[in-house]
Amino acid sequence: MGVVWRAWAFYAPDGPHAGRAPELVALKQLKHQGSLHTQFQTFFLREADALRRLSHPNVVGFHEIFEWIPAAESGAGPSSVGATMTLVLEFVDGNTLEDVISRHVARAQLAGPGSLPGVPFRRAWHYFEQLLGALSATHALDIVHRDVKPSNVLIRNDGIVKLTDYGIARVTAPTPEEAKNAPGTGAYMSPEQVLGQPLDGRSDLYSAAIVLYETLTGKLPFPTTDRTEYDVRRAQVEAPPPPIRRYLPQAPPVLEALFNRGLSKDPAMRFRTANEMAEAFRSALGIPASDMWAAQQKLSEMARSGAASPQKTAQMEAARAAIVKGYRTQIMPQR
């Protein structure tokens, strides 16, 4: 619904940000969509609202939203197209998780039988833990992302993950039309999202489980090749996911049980929160507790607690700094 530009933000010498150095940013500009333009404007405003409320090291940063009227091609006067809505966002220098998965799948094909089919587990966990941290804070503000997928997981060159694209996030109750149309990407949608039923954070956690499944195996549990979007969405509701050990025989049996719960068709059988999901994977697989995850939990708890205060602000800044410092220390570049 839009195009993203790499740009520089310059600050007026007599404005509120006087003395601030020019900053590299991303401009996400809405394309004109004819009869659907009003609906996409709503998505843009919703994304701005969600990102404005979220201030998390694993969520892409929000600067501002504005409208501008492009000049006519002749250069004489404004364009007849009208005002263009634009989001100013943090610039993330790196690649998407989708790119990273594709590279590892290509390497596995070259390496031949016996090689890992996707991303090695420790690297995959490094990314997944940060994704769950972003979702924990998102859900603490009663926001449901609704489009968690590898192409919306950005990985900076220093290994820091940034969840992006909150355009179809549920910030408020969905309209009847939205519920009917079930916005999202079929291969990653939860069954209740496909059916247009009420959603909570467990829907995003189902999508996150698919992301981890694909990261480790290089395959989707409900593949899209030679299948219509309708067939893919139907599979989310009716078909059981293939056992992960079919594609990753090196996986321990406990990983199978974790995915069975994460990809349950019934939300009540899934992990209730991102924190619970992370703790289940961590403890079952013997992953040591980390200071970074402790800071993630603290940040989501403070986001949920409501009213701001100088003390709370200082605590949140300390937690953000601990998260970034910790994940950088692990030295997990996006390759």
Cite the active site residues.
147
- How many beta carbons lie within 10 A of that of residue 37, not counting itself? 15
What is the full DSSP assignment across 94-131? EEEHHHHHHHHHHHHHHH-TTS-SSS-HHHHHHHHHHH
Using alpha carbons, select from 264, 262, 299 the residue that is nearest to residue 278.
262
Q: Look up tokens 């709370």; give the residue.
A: 312
d(C-alpha 96, C-alpha 100), whole Å: 7
Tell me the three state secondary structure of residue 265. coil
Q: What are phi and psi of 7, to 5 degrees?
A: -150, 170
- Pick left, alpha or beta for residue 105 (phi over 0 → left; psi -120 to 50 → alpha; otherwise beta): alpha
d(C-alpha 317, C-alpha 314), whole Å: 5
Using alpha carbons, select from 311, 254, 253 the residue that is nearest to residue 282.
254
- How many beta carbons lie within 10 A of that of residue 159, not counting itself? 20
